[in-house]
Amino acid sequence: MPRTNSQTSPLLYAFTCGHITLPTGYFISGEEGKTKVPACVFLIDHPKGLALFDTGFSDRFVGMDKGLGKIVDMPEEHPVADRLRELDVDPDRIDWIINSHLHLDHAGGNHMLPNATVVVQAEEWEFGFTGEDGAYAKEDFDTGQPVKKVNGEYDLYGDGSVILIPTPGHTPGHQSARVKTATGEAVLAGDCCNFKRSLDDMRMPDEVYNADHYRGSLEKLSELRRQGAHIFYGHDPDFWASVPQAQELDLNTKNNLPSL
């Protein structure tokens, strides 16, 4: 169960908040067929407050079998508020929502965290209102919650333990998070790197907002991985199947995590 105590290092937890099935080329170039991928969410438990990195799909998809419900699989226990309660965490206690970006599979649960401040890159926030990308749903992110719009790197707690880093390309203002736990450094990649083999082979999706920026973000992640950071890929079903759910992630224990 998450705990906020006197230790300075944050604790990190992972859980799934829905799935979506899309053409595989949407995630990595040059591949045929379709792939069902998870919406990955992380809870960061820090002595200065609780944060979520992304919030998965909205609970409005539960039981939906028309429209987007044909490709979104949202079991009734998957909304982020229910996932938190499974950990004995009251959704009202979440202080921060770090949205990697504002697509509907990353910001859908924002409204279930009424006391949280959304932390997003300013460029991402502005782009979400343009209507240029159909994967944005204003009802998910334009919720009336406080919004902290940042530009570039941002130290969430002011102690270097959770640093937001710009990783654009998938969207104009995509960001990832470097989380320094007591057992190692995790990089929550979001959609700047969908699969492990995206980074292994430096392969982008078939379509991206800006190819040069996306390639630069992959290069940034590759360097962080060479330095010893553990990359948590944004939508890799094989990788995610081996990530322990709803329990503290120990980045030192090989039996606790898949090959990173």
H or E stretch including 238? helix 237-241
Question: What is the pTM assigned to this prediction?
Answer: 0.95
Q: What is the mean pLDDT of residues 26-38?
A: 96
Total domains in the chain come to 1
Question: Residue 145: which domain range?
Answer: 11-241
Q: Is 241 exposed, middle or buried (0-12, 13-18, 19+ CB in 10 A)?
A: exposed
CATH number for the domain including 34?
3.60.15.10
1 falls within a domain: no
Domain for residue 253, yes or no?
Answer: no
Q: Tell me if 35 is assigned to some domain.
A: yes
- How does residue 69 score in pLDDT terms, banded at 50, 70 and 90? confident
- Asked whether the predicted pLDDT for residue 36 surpasses 80, the reply is yes
Q: Is residue 105 domain-resident?
A: yes
Classify residue 111: in a domain, yes or no: yes
- Mean pLDDT throughout 183-200? 97
d(CA 81, CA 77): 9
Does residue 247 form part of some domain?
Answer: no
The answer on pLDDT for 1 being more than 80 is: no
- Mean pLDDT, rounded, for 124-147: 97
Predicted local distance difference test score (pLDDT) of residue 160 = 96
